[in-house]
Every structure is written in structure tokens, then in C-alpha cells.
Amino acid sequence: MKTAARLAALTVLMSASLALGQNRGTIGVSIPSADHGWTAGVVYWANRTKSELEKKYPGMRIVVKTAKDANEQANQIQDLYTVNRINTLVILPVESAPLTKPVADLKRRGVYTVVVDRGLTDPSAQDAYVAGDNPGLGRVSAEYLGKAMGGKGNLVVLRGIPTVIDNQRVDAFEAVMKSKYPNIKILDKKYANWNRDDGFKVMQDYLTRFPKIDAVWAQDDDIAVGVLRAIQQARRNDIKIVLGGAGMKEMIKRVMDGDKLITADVTYPPDMIADAMRMAAESRASGKPMPKNTIIPSKLITKENAKNFYFPDSPF
């Protein structure tokens, strides 16, 4: 009888554990492919965090998918719902507008939706939002360039891709320039798609059109790599500062080494996907909703503090 009782108790316990595991369900993580340095960091952190969370929460399953464009990502999140039967979606949209309706459709079907970094055009489509401080990145960049340029001179801007966060960065940057540094002229601003090759092409165009450029706001470190290549190829020595952003290890190393063109950087860490996944997993396990908005501040990196942001083993 005692053995039978123990078996019965064990069965109840296993059933309870199974139910708890089922309640934790499956989290789908949808992110862009590693098509440049920052997204390579996102993919690295997503896969690393998947293993961490599946160990921490037995019974919880994490499915990570990468997509090369918005259409592929929209199809993938439908598959995550119909095939993988996710109850939670953590998504870093390739683009904002094309992904808004697919995410809203999943939320309407009961999937808890966590949007990371690139906000949707309709925030009501998401349950929670986790991002870097995009207006802050624009403000910190403008403050640094304004002071470094002595409040005057010619500046060119290379934008990211047409997304809500790109607008937030550029709007905040221009607001600071307009209010505090009116003698700095923004010669032009074009999309370089957070891409080295596009950064090279856009900068080539600027170098051809403008005989005097004092500084470049590349907004992103991958773009800055292309910008530096274009400047070197054109053998231009009028440009004194190139400011990227995100905290790529190669750029941080340049700051540490006292590079004449790369004198600073501004953080926008790719491991924010890991923060979002951890928060979503904790929320699903506890049954408590996440904070509606979680913003990770952007910080200025200079030679004085660069060592605190340099991680040589990171892929980004």
C-alpha cells in the first residue's frame, strides 16, 4: 500500500509539473537575419538566451527564427502560431509598417506580444515594448557633435531604414541642433539602411557633392565602417569627426586607441533581445504582465570610459 501510495503521489506531482510546463508554453522569438554587425549580435544573444531560459524553466520551449526581410518574417510568425503553437511572441521587426498587422492578428488570437527595438506603427498591437533609448541616442549624439564642432560647421547625416526608431533618433538629433547649435548646417540626410555598403555609397555621394564637410553623424557603427572607407578612398582630410552608434567592439577599440576620426560612440546594445526574452519568460512563468514600456538608456562612450564597454569575445 505504501508503494502504491508513493506511486500515486508521484503521478500527481508529475501531472502538476506537466501542467505547469504546459502553462509556461512556447515562446516564439522572431528576429532579423545576421545581415550586419548589430543584428549578428542580436542573433548571438537570442540563441544564447534560449539555452539559458530552457534550463531555468523546465517545460518552457523557446523557438528562435531569423528572417531576411519583412515578408519572410510575417510568414514565419504565422508558422510560429499554427505549427509551433506559441503562446508568446518576442519580435524584433525587420520593418515597422509591414509587421504591424501580422503582430496585431496574433495578439487578437491570444498570443502575448512583446515588441523589441523597432516599434510598430500601431502600438496597440503589442502587450509590451522593450527598446534602447532611441530619442536619447539622437540627443546624446547631437550634444557630443555640437560641442566637438565648436558649435559651427557642416554636417552630413546617414539615416538607418524607414522605421519608427529611425525617425525618433533623427527628430531628437535635429531638435538639439536647432535649439542649441543653430550655426551647424545639416547639408543632407539620406538612408544608409544600417549597412556598410550603403554607408559607403551614400558617403561617396556626399563627398562628390559637398567640398567641405566637418563632421558625419553615421548613427550606426556598421554605417560608420562604410563611411570611413569612402573617406579613405577619396583621400579627404576636411572631415574631423565620424560618430556612429551601438557600441561595436571595433569602434570601441578605436576610441580606446585614440583614433583621430572616431573619438566617441553611443550605446545601443544588441543584448536588449536577451532582456526582452528574460522578461517575457518570467512573465509567462509567474502569470504577471510585463511593464508596458522598458527603455534602456543610451550612454556616451569616450576614451575615458571605453574600456567599460569593450568585450573582445563578443561577435559585435
B/e letters for 199-214, b = 16+ CB within 10 Å, e = fewer, are bbbbbbebbeeeeebb
Task: Report the CATH number of the 26-126 domain.
Answer: 3.40.50.2300
Output the pLDDT for position 16: 41
Task: Annotate 14-54 with DSSP letters as a single string.
Answer: HHHHHHHHHHH-EEEEEEE-S-SHHHHHHHHHHHHHHHHHH
The tens-digit pLDDT sequence of the chain (316 residues) is 444 444 444 444 444 444 444 457 999 999 999 987 789 889 989 999 999 999 999 999 999 999 999 999 999 999 999 999 999 999 999 988 999 999 999 999 999 999 998 889 999 999 999 999 999 999 999 999 999 999 999 999 999 988 888 999 999 999 999 999 999 999 999 999 989 999 999 999 999 999 999 999 999 999 999 999 999 999 999 999 999 999 899 999 999 999 999 999 999 988 899 999 999 999 999 999 999 999 988 999 999 999 998 878 777 8
Q: Which pLDDT tens digit goes with each residue over 204-215?
A: 999 999 999 999
Q: Which pLDDT tens digit goes with each residue over 70-99?
A: 999 999 999 999 999 999 999 999 988 999
Domain spanning 134-267: CATH 1.10.730.10: no
As a whole number of angstroms, the distance between CA 274 and CA 300 comes to 22
Topology match between the domains 26-126 and 134-267: yes
Output the pLDDT for position 144: 98
C-alpha cell at 35: 545581415
Q: CB within 8 A of 43, min separation 6: which ones? A: 31, 33, 34, 66
C-alpha cell at 170: 533623427
Output the pLDDT for position 164: 81
Output the pLDDT for position 274: 93
Domain ranges in the chain?
26-126, 134-267
Output the pLDDT for position 270: 87
Residue type, 221: D
Give pTM, 2 decimals.
Answer: 0.72
C-alpha cell at 155: 554636417
Output the pLDDT for position 57: 95
Cα distances from 206 to residues 238, 239, 276, in angstroms, run: 13, 12, 38
